[in-house]
Amino acid sequence: MTDTVLISEVGPRDGLQSIQATMPTAAKRAWIDALYAAGLREIEVASFVPARLLPQMADAAEVVRHALTKPGLTVMALVPNLRGAEAALAAGVHKLTLPVSASEAHSLANVRKSRADMVEELRHVVRLRDAHAPQVKVEAGLSTAFGCTLQGVVPDDDVVRLAAAVVEAGVDEAGLSDTTGMANPAQVRRLFTRVRAEIGPRTGAAHMHNTRGLGLANCLAAFDVGVRTFDSSQGGLGGCPFAPGASGNVVTEDLVFMFEAMGVHTGVDLPRLMAAREPLRRGLPGEPLYGMTPEAGLPKGFVAATV
């Protein structure tokens, strides 16, 4: 039986909020349309934060409304707090993601709250969800799980304790994020194994960055220990504005190619995915896009995985 993974595209949120340019709303809609046409079925389309802080996300509700017209698409949004969650739920999202940093220094820089305060904020968001939209999933993204450019080493024990705390607070799943691109494959295997031993099937996505060229290797390491959901960004757009030196996400095109070449089904059509770079280019003229697979093309005789 062929293995299957879920590729969760985070470019329209993580990618766009990390660059200076603001993509026009019409261009965002066209890009999301192209990603959907390529077979992506979970897309993080926006973050609900004050426009004065992230003008790139000022049209979040409008973008969500458009994405909701796509049958079978899980429309996801990042929210840093209860107010953001209220706005996202009002817009109709299917899934909320909250960043909860394993590094105290990063937590204070990113959301101006301590780790303990963020767990409490998460508890309030879960109560809101339970009261008004029980069908909506809530995910905690445990950021800086593999190291922090501000703090340095983040102990595994801190990550495991935080995973247990967010699950106790009521999240549906807790993923691990290499926010600063410091992870290595041995560390990824070790930490995901420990977290799964602690919270079981609530262990969520691997969100890897390619800062030091290990993004795909780290995704493969996570796959080897049972992870089946992977965040990535078309063209490798993204990074964290509050983690100095942290550059882009794993490139969706390269991640899909790796899995399909291995015989692991992603549900994503690679030629259509690479064609989706064109509306992205039109919406962000001059912005560098990355990816080895789009440059090299598909190998002669390449056959995608089937289920």
Answer whether residue 133 shows pLDDT above 90: yes
- At residue 106, the pLDDT reads 86
CA-atom Rg of the chain in angstroms: 18
Query: Could you write out the three-class secondary structure of the chain?
Result: CCCECEEEECHHHHHHHHCCCCCCHHHHHHHHHHHHHCCCCEEEEEECCCCCCCHHHCCHHHHHHHHCCCCCCEEEEECCCHHHHHHHHHHCCCEEEEEEECCHHHHHHHHCCCHHHHHHHHHHHHHHHHHHCCCCEEEEEEECCCCECCCECCCHHHHHHHHHHHHHCCCCEEEEECCCCCCCHHHHHHHHHHHHHHHHHHEEEEECECCCCCHHHHHHHHHHCCCCEEEEEHHHCCCCCCCCCCCCECEHHHHHHHHHHCCCECCCCHHHHHHCHHHHHHHCCCCCCCCHHHHHCCCCCCCCCCC
| Residues 88-104: tens digit of each pLDDT | 999 999 999 999 999 99
pLDDT band at 229 (very low <50, low <70, confident <90, very high): very high
- At residue 241, the pLDDT reads 52
Domains of the chain: 6-296 (3.20.20.70)
- At residue 19, the pLDDT reads 86
Answer whether residue 63 shows pLDDT above 90: yes
Residues 6+ apart with CB under 8 A from 288: none
Answer whether residue 30 shows pLDDT above 70: yes
- At residue 294, the pLDDT reads 95
Residue 276 and residue 149: Cα distance in Å, rounded? 33
- At residue 216, the pLDDT reads 97
Give the mean model confidence (pLDDT) for residues 109-132: 93
Give the mean model confidence (pLDDT) for residues 163-192: 97
Residue 219 and residue 229: Cα distance in Å, rounded? 10
The answer to whether residue 219 is catalytic is no
Answer whether residue 240 shows pLDDT above 70: no
| Residues 244-267: tens digit of each pLDDT | 554 689 999 999 999 999 999 999
- At residue 247, the pLDDT reads 65
pLDDT band at 110 (very low <50, low <70, confident <90, very high): confident
| Residues 3-27: tens digit of each pLDDT | 999 999 999 999 998 888 999 999 9
Residue 304 and residue 265: Cα distance in Å, rounded? 8
pLDDT band at 118 (very low <50, low <70, confident <90, very high): very high
Answer whether residue 1 shows pLDDT above 90: no
Of 142, 240, 268, 274, the active-site residue reads 240
